[in-house]
Chain A
């Protein structure tokens, strides 16, 4: 079993038992070891134990990661893969084999992680990586399993074949927009953005609304708010507004304008290439925020982010 394409190979593995899991992944990892590939498995804790047992003396060649720690925010996970791939390259590996068992979380996060699975195809298109994503058919809802066919070019169940339902990430991400983080009641702040000299006042407003937040989280929130406001000023059209809500320990900020929104539905998912200017701000925003959504209606674009901070613990 070899794959000759130099770029990414991204597969969904549907399994319904420990045996099926082991039978598919043990040869995948062993072959990778023989080929000199870097090996990483970000999987459920029980499956770390299962793979360690099965690999025996070869287990130390695999970097194991608890998937509950790994799959928290899509942009952070993507940045993590970049780091691991760079490390593999530095260690002399020409390729990497990855087992990525996505933590889909609660129902409200399913779309977020389906979008991530789709974005991976574009962000890592040229990476010398072979990724197998195990989907537990006993535990995951049918919607998530069906979407896996749309986000992976190759399916294993356990036979290996092209996915008939695979969709290009650009069109799938457009079809499945991130839902706007919920807000309740009127915003605590609602102000127009005229030019870049409004940014300092915007931060003053947010600082007041996030009263009681620990220093570090507050600094992140101020950066994020500044970046989405700048984004609206730079790329937006017509009337730009910033609105801020707070509910308990969660602050939601929204920058809106009358423009059509970003042309690239993948904006902010991956680090922009060296030398490129745009997109880096949104990439950091995606790493720092619990939720990020871009809603593009015909003549209104809204970038809405949510951050939650546990109060009381002041680190700064």
Chain B
């Protein structure tokens, strides 16, 4: 269920039809309105007017929310692609500014919805997309903003989606939404530098974890990595933690993770 998402989360949500896209965004927006979050929707495959109509038809008080400054529906050319190309390096900064503005206006959170259909048409810079999705986790993990990234399965192949999914801490694939919960939550505090991981780590999110570890290692000499609520089903993540042992101080890891660290470290050369 999309309603299980909370500030700090960043999901790759695949859809198969326009109706499915409008259904999930309507529920995501309704949930956000009730929680006093600001919501910014970057649409691409649908015109803003069509989105407004579709959401209104699904019971979302679009007109009132827009008038209150709580909801903004804008074409992706006004957001991701403001410079005419997708500039991955500028995006985290843009998100941080959006976040500051929402805070200053008194909203208790910021929800972003991104219709990523533009990436399928191979715009300049789109090849940086997975790397961008991985890096931007740093912004969301502070726990104020959250993002629903919409990927249309009619536009992207499974092989194209796998690395993009893995750049997000959680993803929803073709399977039914019932019972869906975010697979992994990443939360960051700056002082002391700490990454808290809750959920399961596997190939569906390891690139997100890897990028987060890399970013945090660049920010601080030592980073506490709290694994108390995490199960690790991915050898490459364990390898990364072993190689970064000088930087990453693990706490709360299960005996299974300790044994894996022994196995990975024991044969290192």
**A273 an interface residue at 8 Å Cβ cutoff?**
yes
Q: Indicate which residue in A78, A198, A230 contacts B173 across the interface (CB closer than 8 Å).
A: A198
Q: Counting chain A CB atoms within 10 Å of each CB, which of B171, B203, B255 scores highest?
A: B203
Are B268 and A284 touching (Cβ within 8 A)? no
**A35 an interface residue at 8 Å Cβ cutoff?**
no
**Shortest CB distance B51–A (Å):** 26
Give residues 197-230 of B contacting A (CB, 8 Å). Answer: 200, 202-204
Name the CB-closest residue of B to A220. B256
Task: Say yes or no: A230-B202 contact (C-beta < 8 A), given A79-B263, A197-B173.
Answer: yes
Question: Given the complex, which residues of A lie within 8 Å of B268, measured CB to CB?
Answer: 271, 274
Are B165 and A197 touching (Cβ within 8 A)? yes
Q: Indicate which residue in A79, A199, A219, A281 contacts B235 across the interface (CB closer than 8 Å).
A: A281
Question: Given the complex, which residues of A lie within 8 Å of B259, measured CB to CB?
Answer: 216
**In the bound complex, how far is the Cα of B268 from the Cα of A252, in angstroms?**
28
Are A195 and B165 touching (Cβ within 8 A)? yes
Are B267 and A200 touching (Cβ within 8 A)? no
Range of interface residues on A (Cβ < 8 Å): 35 or more
Question: Given the complex, which residues of B lie within 8 Å of A220, measured CB to CB?
Answer: 256
Are A83 and B266 touching (Cβ within 8 A)? yes
Are A223 and B233 touching (Cβ within 8 A)? yes
Are B173 and A281 touching (Cβ within 8 A)? no
Q: Indicate which residue in A196, A230, A234, A274 contacts B171 across the interface (CB closer than 8 Å).
A: A196
**A109 an interface residue at 8 Å Cβ cutoff?**
no
**In the bound complex, how far is the Cα of B175 from the Cα of A222, in angstroms?**
20
Are B172 and A280 touching (Cβ within 8 A)? no
Question: Given the complex, which residues of B lie within 8 Å of A277, measured CB to CB?
Answer: 236
Question: Given the complex, which residues of B lie within 8 Å of A203, measured CB to CB?
Answer: 200, 233
**A226 an interface residue at 8 Å Cβ cutoff?**
yes
Are A223 and B269 touching (Cβ within 8 A)? no
Give residues 209-245 of A contacting B (CB, 8 Å). Answer: 216, 219-220, 222-223, 226-227, 230, 233-234
**B264 an interface residue at 8 Å Cβ cutoff?**
yes
Q: Indicate which residue in A195, A197, A200, A280 contacts B264 across the interface (CB closer than 8 Å).
A: A280
**In the bound complex, how far is the Cα of B203 from the Cα of A230, in angstroms?**
7
Give residues 177-203 of A contacting B (CB, 8 Å). Answer: 194-201, 203
Question: Given the complex, which residues of B lie within 8 Å of A287, measured CB to CB?
Answer: 263
The main secondary structure of chain A at its interface with chain B is helix
Are A284 and B204 touching (Cβ within 8 A)? no
Task: Say yes or no: A199-B203 contact (C-beta < 8 A), given A219-B231, A284-B260, A284-B263.
Answer: yes
- How many contacts between A and B, using CB within 8 angstroms? 97
Name the CB-closest residue of B to A201. B175
**A283 an interface residue at 8 Å Cβ cutoff?**
yes
**In the bound complex, how far is the Cα of B236 from the Cα of A284, in angstroms?**
10
**B161 an interface residue at 8 Å Cβ cutoff?**
yes
Name the CB-closest residue of B to A215. B256
**In the bound complex, how far is the Cα of B183 from the Cα of A83, in angstroms?**
36
Are A82 and B200 touching (Cβ within 8 A)? no
Are B267 and A196 touching (Cβ within 8 A)? no
Give residues 231-269 of B contacting A (CB, 8 Å). Answer: 231-236, 239, 254-256, 259-260, 263-264, 266-269
**A270 an interface residue at 8 Å Cβ cutoff?**
yes
**In the bound complex, how far is the Cα of B239 from the Cα of A273, in angstroms?**
12
Question: Given the complex, which residues of A lie within 8 Å of B239, measured CB to CB?
Answer: 280
**Shortest CB distance A268–B (Å):** 11
Question: Given the complex, which residues of B lie within 8 Å of A271, measured CB to CB?
Answer: 267-269
**A316 an interface residue at 8 Å Cβ cutoff?**
yes
Are A200 and B171 touching (Cβ within 8 A)? no
Are A281 and B269 touching (Cβ within 8 A)? no
Question: Would you give 14 A-B contacts (Cβ < 8 Å), ordered by A?
Answer: A79-B263, A83-B266, A196-B202, A196-B204, A197-B175, A197-B204, A201-B175, A223-B235, A271-B269, A273-B269, A280-B236, A280-B264, A284-B263, A288-B263
Measured CB to CB, the residues of B under 8 A from A are 158, 161-162, 165-166, 171-175, 183, 200, 202-204, 231-236, 239, 254-256, 259-260, 263-264, 266-269
Measured CB to CB, the residues of A under 8 A from B are 78-79, 82-83, 86, 194-201, 203, 216, 219-220, 222-223, 226-227, 230, 233-234, 270-271, 273-274, 277, 280-281, 283-284, 287-288, 316
Counting from the closest, the 8 A-B pairs by CB-CB distance are A197-B173, A271-B267, A196-B204, A219-B256, A226-B233, A230-B203, A79-B267, A281-B235
